[in-house]
């Protein structure tokens, strides 16, 4: 049996690390807790950076390259800090055929970044998603966690401009 006596030191004295450790403890520090633990890190820190990956990998005895491989395989995880605001454009089929592609293009033009990027000032992250399951309100977007349905280009532009002021 592996013991947990050789836990790596916490990356910092940030209290959120205790929550992360709690997730790992709940799963008995088993290797299969990797994805669950990464979810906790991302929930509390907003993204996964190398120190956090190093800490989680060492705690769960997962090889570093494997941890990195997992973190980059699943698109829900992000390795870069998110912007102050997040605009998520759903590209599910229902949204796509009702014009989500044009909405994304408009957002990219308005923010001058591509989907998956954050504006250089760190203000807005533009994200696209496969399907958020809000097909009944297509095209749907999520502005800072709040779903908006039947979005027009004007509504989108106004919202993005509002974030810039």
Partner 1 sequence: MTFEELEQIATDARAAKETFPRALNVCVAAGCLSLHSDAIKSALEKEVRRRGANCRVAGTGCMGLCSLGPLVTREPDGHLLKNVAESDAPEIVAKLNSAMPERLLYSRDQPFFQRQTAIVLENSGRIDPEKIEEYIAAYGYQALLHALTDLTPAQIVQEVSKSGLRGRGGAGYPTGLKWGTVAKTIGTTKYVICNADEGDPGAFMDRSVLESDPHRVLEGMIVAGYAVGANLGYIYVRAEYPLAIKRLQVAIRDARRLGFLGSQICNTKFSFDIEIRIGGGAFVCGEETALIASIEGRRGTPRPRPPFPAQSGLWEMPTLINNVESFANIPTILRRGGEWYASLGTNKSKGTKVFALCGKVRNVGLIEVPMGTPLRQIIFDIGGGVPEGHRFKAVQTGGPSGGCIPEQFLDLPVDYESLKEVGSIMGSGGMIVMDDSACMVNVARYFMEFCMSESCGKCIPCRAGTAQMFELLTRMTNGTAKLNDLDLLEELCDMVSSTSLCGLGQSAPNPVLSTLRYFREEYMEHIVRKHCRAGVCECNKLAEVSA
Partner 2 sequence: MSPAPAVKTLLIDGKDVSASGDQTILGAARENGISIPTLCHLDGLTEVGACRLCLVELKGSTRLQPACVMLVEEGMEVTTHTPRLQKYRRMILELLFAERNHVCSVCVANNMCELQDQAEAHGITHVRFPYRSPSLPVDASHERFALDHNRCILCTRCVRVCNEIEGAHTWDLLGRGVNSLLISDLHEPWGESDTCTSCGKCVQVCPTGALFDKSKVGGKVRKNPDFLSYLNEMREGLR
Q: Please, which residue, 53 or 111, has the CB nearer to partner 2?
A: 53
Round to whole Å and give the CA distance between 47 and 54. 14
Ranges of beta strands (E only) in the chain are: 85-90, 124-129, 141-143, 146-148
Torsion of CA 64, 70, 76, 82, to 10 degrees: 20
- Is residue 53 involved in binding partner 2 (CB under 8 A)? yes
Q: How far is the CB of 133 from partner 1 (least distance, A)?
A: 4
- Is residue 127 involved in binding partner 1 (CB under 8 A)? no
Tell me which stretch binds partner 1 (CB under 8 A): 1-9, 11-19, 111-119, 124-132.
124-132
DSSP symbol at 84: S
- Is residue 144 involved in binding partner 1 (CB under 8 A)? no
Q: How many residues interact with partner 1 (rule CB under 8 A)?
A: 40
Round to whole Å and give the CA distance between 82 and 90. 18
- Is residue 105 involved in binding partner 1 (CB under 8 A)? no
Q: How far is the CB of 115 from partner 1 (least distance, A)?
A: 11
Cis status of the peptide bond prior to 139, with omega within 30 of 0 = yes
- Is residue 164 involved in binding partner 2 (CB under 8 A)? no
């Amino acid at each position: 049996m592996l013991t947990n006596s050789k836990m790596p030191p916490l990356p910092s004295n940030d209290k959120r690390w205790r929550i992360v450790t709690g997730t790992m403890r709940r799963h008995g520090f088993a290797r299969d807790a990797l994805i669950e633990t990464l979810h906790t890190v991302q929930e509390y820190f907003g993204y996964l950076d190398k120190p956090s990956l190093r800490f989680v990998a060492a705690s769960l005895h997962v090889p570093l390259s494997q941890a990195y491989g997992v973190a980059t395989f699943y698109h829900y995880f992000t390795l870069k800090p998110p912007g102050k605001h997040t605009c998520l454009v759903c590209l599910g089929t229902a949204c796509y055929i009702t014009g989500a592609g044009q909405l994304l293009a408009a957002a990219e033009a308005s923010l001058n970044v591509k989907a998956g990027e954050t504006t250089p000032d760190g203000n807005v992250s533009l994200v696209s998603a496969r399907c958020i399951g809000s097909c009944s309100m297509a095209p749907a977007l999520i502005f800072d966690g709040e779903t908006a349905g039947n979005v027009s280009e004007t509504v989108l532009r106004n919202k993005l401009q509002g974030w810039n002021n």
